[in-house]
Amino acid sequence: MEFFNREKEIKITLSIIEDEPDDTYFIYGPINSGKTTLINEIINNKLNKDKYVVFYINLRRYFISKYDDFIALLFKEYSEDKKPLELIKGLIKDSPLIFGIPIPKNTLEILLSKNEEVNVFDYITNFLLDIKKEGKQPIIILDELQKIGDLKINGFLIYELFNYFISLTKEMHLSHVFCLSSDSLFIERVYNEAVLNGRAKYLLVDDFDKETAMKFMDFLSERILNKKLSNEEKELIYSYVGGKPKDIIYVIKRLRVENLKEILDYLLNDAKQKLDMLLEVLDYSTPKVVVGDKEVEVKKEDIINALRLFKEKYMINKKEIPTPVYMYLVKKNILFLNPVEGTLRPQSFLIWNGIKRLI
3-class SS of residue 105: coil
259-309 confidence digits (pLDDT tens): 999 999 999 999 999 999 999 999 999 999 988 889 999 999 999 999 999
pLDDT at residue 327 tops 70: yes
More reliable by pLDDT, 325 or 145: 325
Q: Which residues contact 49 (CB under 8 A, 6 or more apart)?
A: 92, 94, 95, 96
- How far from 133 is each of 75, 136, 197, 211, CA to CA, in Å? 21, 7, 30, 46
pLDDT at 356: 96
34-48, 106-120, 137-151, 328-342: which is most confident: 328-342
Find the angle CA(59)-CA(146)-CA(288) to the nearest 5 degrees: 130
φ, ψ of residue 197 to 5 degrees: the values are -60, 120
φ, ψ of residue 55 to 5 degrees: the values are -105, 110
- Count Cα atoms within 13 angstroms, Cβ side, for 203: 25
Determine if residue 274 is left, alpha or beta; phi over 0 gives left, psi from -120 to 50 gives alpha, anything else beta. Answer: alpha
Query: What is the 3-state composition of the chain as percent helix, strand, coil, each rounded to the nearest 5?
Result: 50, 15, 30
pLDDT at residue 29 tops 90: yes
- Determine which of 46-60, 106-120, 176-190 has the lowest per-residue pLDDT on average: 106-120
CATH of domain 7-204: 3.40.50.300
φ, ψ of residue 111 to 5 degrees: the values are -60, -45
- What fold is seen in the domain 276-358? Arc Repressor Mutant, subunit A (1.10.10)
124-139 confidence digits (pLDDT tens): 899 899 899 888 899 9
pLDDT at 197: 76
270-281 confidence digits (pLDDT tens): 999 999 999 999
pLDDT at 146: 79
Contact 351, 247 (CB under 8 A): no
- Count Cα atoms within 13 angstroms, Cβ side, for 191: 18
DSSP H or E segment with residue 288: strand 288-291
Determine if residue 335 is left, alpha or beta; phi over 0 gives left, psi from -120 to 50 gives alpha, anything else beta. Answer: beta
Mean pLDDT of the chain: 88
pLDDT at residue 1 tops 60: no
pLDDT at residue 188 tops 80: yes
| Cα–Cα distance measured from residue 100 to residue 21, given in angstroms and rounded to the nearest whole number | 20
pTM recorded for the entire structure:
0.88
Closest by alpha carbon to 176, among 319, 325, 22? 22
| Cα–Cα distance measured from residue 321 to residue 336, given in angstroms and rounded to the nearest whole number | 13
Q: How many residues does the chain have?
A: 359
- How far from 89 is each of 50, 82, 102, 125, CA to CA, in Å? 10, 11, 11, 18
134-165 confidence digits (pLDDT tens): 888 999 999 888 777 666 555 567 777 888 89
Closest by alpha carbon to 124, among 75, 163, 162? 75
- Count Cα atoms within 13 angstroms, Cβ side, for 234: 18
User: What is the domain partition of the chain in residue ranges?
Assistant: 7-204, 210-257, 276-358
Closest by alpha carbon to 52, among 175, 202, 143? 175
pLDDT at 80: 66
Say if strands 294-297 and 75-78 run parallel, antiparallel, or are unpaired. unpaired
